[in-house]
Chain A
Amino acid sequence: MKKVKTGMGRRSFIKNVSLVGGGLLIGFNWLACKQAAEENGGEVAMQMPDEWFELNGYLKIGDNGIVTIYSPNPEIGQNVKTAMPMLVAEELDVDWSNVIVEQAPLNLDVFTRQLAGGSQSIRQGWEPLRMAGATAKQMLLSAAAKEWEVPVSELSVDKGIISHKASDRSIGYGEIAKAATKIEVPKEIELKDNSDFKIIGTSRKNVDAKKIVTGKPLYGLDSYEDDMLIAMIVQPPAFGMEFKSMDATKAKEMPGIKDIFTIDTYPEAMEREWSDVAAFSKLVVVVGESTWQVMQAKKALNVEWDLKPDLTHQVQILEKSPGMEETGGLENSDMHTALMNDAGPAKSEVVRKDGDPESAFKNAARVIERSYSCPFLAHNCMEPMNFYANVTDEKAELLGPIQTPEFAEKSVNKRLGFELDKIDVQMTRMGGGFGRRLYGNFLVEAAVISQKMKKPIKLVYTREDDMANGVYRPAYKVSYRAALDANNNITAFHVNAGGITESPLFANRFPAGAIDNYLAESWTIDSSISTGAFRAPRSNFIAGAEQSFLDELAEEVGKDPIQFRLDMLKRAKNDPVGEENDYDPVRYAGVLELVRDKAGWNNNNSTSSKGVAAYYCHNSYVAQILEMDLKDNEPVIDKVTCAVDCGIVVNPDAAKNMVEGGTIDGIGHALYSELSFKDGAVQQNNFDSYRLIRHREAPKKIDVHFVENGIDPTGLGEPPFPPVQGALANALYKATGKRIYKQPFLPEITAESRELKT
């Protein structure tokens, strides 16, 4: 058992005051959604209690023993709304079938880090959530002990029933909860040993599953209120352009249209949060009664746009790239490629250097050098950006899909000048996040529009608005060089990585630490295109590139690709180079060995082409083996075997789902997806031109295996996404005989085979 302090150094962590439900809770009438979750996991309809008792901000207990647990973090499909309450329920020792889960609103007095990002919800919630459960349990036990006048140590609990064996008495949590609210919060509590877990480590169904499969309102876009209006935006047609003038006469007269005006979401003078990133700050807004009417009015609008006057920096970079056509600041994909080949690497900065790479390269018997690149990507959450806002003179109520409610609240505070306690942000279940909803520009836009209209509004992006108004995955490029001596030993390794507008480099990540002479360099290129985090930022490209290069190196030196990596990891373990290496070589090797074993790498007779990759990110380790064939020049993926080390797996079947999804997502984006630019305008703005992976293209089988090591949990939402791209590239090489250096892969394969045919 582990003893932990409940108070020290933890900002008002556990208090027996009711905070959730107090303060400013939206009296929001969004259909059935407010009917306090009468179904749990879809099966049992529960009898609602007459009275609730809150023991701390995380939970309340009904007089009939039903427990409501508030899930603090935003739910974007990573299933924390099930997993986080499981941690509370475990230590509280209740029957999971008596638990109701509700999404907590933003409340930093009670919760810490209410954010969906970096795969950190479970890792960082691991202790606080269990403490919340353990503290409440301790208070319930103390109340029972007091009532029965026996020592707490003589009591035991099973599934919400407290028993005193000696006197043969028992009492349910519901019956003692009221008395427990009078008990002082214990200063110290005990957390269970892993071996005593009854809920953690067992598969529990998604708590919203029944609502999802019956079409209940759950998402931001499902918010409706009687006098609510629909707002939509009209944005510049290209990055580098801005609003000049408009003629809205005709559009304003169309049926249902209430107003048309412009807004400036982030005026220059406003101090921005990091999450205040927007493609376009100045927008035209159309407000009306129904979605379709507003869509029609958007089309009827006559807006004129101007080149932004401040685009000189792109032109300057262009001057450094001779031969480039001047675009007046409107960017093109060709120009991006040229910049990444030339101007970017020309301004590289050294980030890490071990040994003497220059001499090692000079003295090398052979040098192998390869470059990899990828395009911008749009997040394309299935549920387009949207937000509900009701801003009155007294308060700002905001409800919808946001991964960063805390920062969004601060942005609204700065933009509207409302005090924080007059701003209420509530999170709906989200139709995907993938990083896009870290940037709450749409929430601020909704607040500004509502304030102007003096009415509740729901801002809705069309798919086209959403795809053209992104905070995109940057375009990246990386070049690798390896020096080999006459005996095929790698004597030096050089990585040079950059992108528009950030570098994907992780200088301290494998193979750093495994090679004596190592050089890591980085560069970036400015752009008027808005970029930001996309599932597994930076790793989402560099993992695939690095793992392709290592595969090629293994072949060059005549080693099995898994053994080649294991040998390097052994070196990193036994005699690491440098002290800053960010990974654990033993856990890294562990997933490679597990995947080798589970996929039958050494004794698999199948004729399909196989590729392997392994990667560490977000504190977790994932290795994948992908098996495929080519059919009509398109890959048919038979199977992906995944080995994952994310420490303790809280909800195994849901975790498997996440790994399957991450694997499919990684394959899809590497093979098919691309956002390109012409004169500053996106060339893809809906799913007819932007290709996402579809049902037929998913692997026929995905096998998921977790390393069991009892280590505290680490990330899972992101880690399966990056390495599979390398496994795919390596399998494609086996299938086609050609190495692929550019994402998306598919046009590269078809181009190759077109060349072969002619």
Chain B
Amino acid sequence: MAQFDVKINGKKHSVDVDPETPLLWVLRDNFKLVGTKYGCGIAQCGACTVHFNGSAVRSCQVPISAVEDNEITTIEGLSENGDHPVQKAWLEHDVPQCGYCQAGQIMAATALLKNNPSPSDSEIEEVMNGNICRCGTYNRIKAAIKSASQTV
């Protein structure tokens, strides 16, 4: 066990855990930021996607000891009122079915648009291929990313 001071969504948090504990489980179990989801634990599904200095990472693969003073953003911190253009596009297209994968999808999509504000279909497909949606909402995800790309 060791003490870690980290900054999540701009707020300081302190936690005493095994240094190997994945960020995913610290977010969920310790900070009760449960928007970041567990799906596989092995970097295969993308449900746990968060931003690490603005880039999308799989939080199930980031040990808490690696966070240090890097900026972490989770779905809860993406926007103040849930009105990030990507979130708005998700509502407009009524993307979710069960919804479980969607926080990870949104975090992956926002990071994509930050690097590439108007991605082509195949660029969207390539980046979003790491996020499984068991319900099959892929077409709406793509449509929402395209509408958001016009507003970010």
Interface residues of A (CB under 8 A from B): 31, 42, 76-79, 203, 205-206, 208-210, 212-219, 221-222, 224, 230, 255, 290-293, 296, 380-384, 429-434, 462-463, 653-654, 657-658, 660-665, 668, 686-688, 692-696, 698-702
Contacts and interface: CB of A to CB of B under 8 A. Distances in A.
Contacts, number: 192
Contact of A429 (B20, B41, B74, B99): B99
B67 to A, nearest CB: 15
B97 A383 contact: no
A432 B96 CA distance: 11
Contacts of B37: 219, 221, 382-383, 431
Contact of A214 (B28, B47, B76, B100): B76
Nearest to A464: B41
A638 to B, nearest CB: 12
B34 A31 contact: yes
Given A292-B17, A292-B22, A212 B140 contact: no
A516 to B, nearest CB: 40
Contact of B138 (A77, A206, A381, A695): A695
Given A217-B34, A382-B45, A383-B100, A209 B134 contact: no
Given A221-B38, A291-B25, A657-B137, A209 B91 contact: yes
A212 B96 contact: yes
B49 to A, nearest CB: 11
Contacts of B129: 694-696
A686 B44 contact: yes
A383 B100 CA distance: 7
Given A429-B99, A692-B132, A661 B42 contact: no
Nearest to A432: B98
A657 B25 contact: no
A35 to B, nearest CB: 15
B149 interface: no
A212 B32 contact: no
Given A77-B97, A382-B98, A699 B139 contact: yes
Contact of A694 (B34, B87, B132, B140): B132
B139 A660 contact: yes
Contacts of B34: 31, 215, 217, 221-222, 224
Given A213-B75, A382-B133, A432-B135, 16 more contacts: A206-B96, A213-B91, A215-B74, A255-B18, A290-B17, A382-B98, A383-B98, A383-B100, A433-B98, A661-B136, A661-B137, A665-B135, A687-B44, A688-B44, A692-B132, A694-B138
Interface string B22-52: 1001001110111111111110110100000
A381 B45 CA distance: 12
B82 A213 contact: yes
B3 to A, nearest CB: 14
Contacts of A79: 97
